């Protein structure tokens, strides 16, 4: 295959990656790929180094650690106190996002 491959974009915004490119990236049906825009009209296509689950787990872990650190700064040391605050903030966030009270 040449260094340049021309792909057609469908009405739905989809493209089909040629088999040679898929095999070169080691990507298969249902897997994610990353498109990174590096300049106008130039993108880099790659296989993500982390799966969606790994990204979600890492994000959640960082969030939990951050919440714990902030809670300690506020003098919250009991899990029940933290649970109560999380519940209040969750309710506020739901109301702000959806303009209604969350169902119990």
Question: Residue 1 pLDDT more than 50?
Answer: no
Q: How many domains does the chain have?
A: 2
Nearest CA among 21, 64, 71 for reference residue 46: 21
The answer to whether residues 67 and 33 belong to one domain is no
Question: Residue 9 pLDDT more than 60?
Answer: yes
Report the distance separating Cα 48 and Cα 36, nearest Å: 11
Distances (CA, A) of 50 to 40, 62, 63, 86: 26, 16, 18, 29
Q: Name the residue range of residue 24's domain.
A: 1-48
CATH code for the domain in which residue 9 is found:
2.10.260.10
Tell me the pLDDT tens digit for each residue of 83-96: 888 888 888 888 98
Is this model's pTM higher than 0.75 or not?
no
Question: Residue 104 pLDDT more than 60?
Answer: no
Domain final position from 27, 48, 69: 48
Q: Does residue 23 lie in a domain region?
A: yes
Q: Does residue 104 lie in a domain region?
A: no
Report the distance separating Cα 41 and Cα 47, nearest Å: 20
């Amino acid at each position: 295959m040449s260094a340049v491959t021309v792909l057609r974009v469908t009405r739905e915004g989809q493209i089909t990656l040629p088999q040679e490119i898929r095999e070169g990236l080691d990507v298969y049906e249902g897997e994610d790929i990353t498109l990174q825009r590096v300049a106008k009209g130039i993108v880099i296509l790659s296989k993500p180094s982390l799966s969606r689950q790994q990204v979600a787990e890492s994000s959640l872990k960082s969030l939990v650690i951050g919440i714990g650190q902030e809670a300690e700064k506020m003098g919250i040391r009991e899990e029940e106190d933290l649970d109560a605050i999380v519940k209040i903030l969750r309710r506020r966030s739901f109301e702000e996002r959806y303009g209604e009270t969350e169902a119990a």
